Every structure is written in C-alpha cells, then in structure tokens.
C-alpha cells in the first residue's frame, strides 16, 4: 500500500505516527517508545538462541 507524500506511517503497536522507525528485520514500524521494547525483545530472543545452542 502506498502512502501519500507527507503522510506518516503509524507505529504497529500504538498506531501513533510520531518518530516512527522501521525494523529492517521484520518490516514493522515502531514509535520511539516501542522501538526500544522491540529491540529488547530481539535481544531476549538472541540470548535464548545462544543459550540453547551451547
């Protein structure tokens, strides 16, 4: 879906269209607050992978 010029993409969690970041891994958009939470979740998943691999 295309967005109009100047139209902001909403956060995939709270739907606010302020300070949106796009995750290159999953392709979802996040506001500043939720990008931090998403990053923490990714770090947790990576820790679990490395723990299970050992």
pLDDT in tens, 4-51: 456 789 999 999 988 789 999 999 999 999 999 999 999 999 999 998
- Judged on CB neighbours under 10 Å (0-12, 13-18, 19+), 31 is buried
Predicted confidence at residue 53, as pLDDT, reads 75
Residue 28: count other Cβ atoms within 10 Å of its Cβ.
15
Predicted confidence at residue 1, as pLDDT, reads 38
Query: Do residues 31 and 20 lie in contact, with contact meaning Cβ atoms separated by under 8 Å?
Result: yes
Predicted confidence at residue 54, as pLDDT, reads 64
Non-local CB neighbours of 32 within 8 Å, separated by 6+ positions: 18, 19, 21
Predicted confidence at residue 7, as pLDDT, reads 73
Give the pTM.
0.72
Predicted confidence at residue 16, as pLDDT, reads 92
């Amino acid at each position: 879906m295309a967005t109009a010029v100047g139209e902001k993409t909403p956060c995939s969690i709270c739907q606010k269209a302020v300070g949106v970041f796009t995750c290159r891994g999953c392709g979802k958009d996040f506001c500043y607050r939720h990008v931090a939470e998403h990053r923490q979740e990714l770090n947790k998943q990576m820790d679990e992978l490395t723990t299970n691999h050992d």
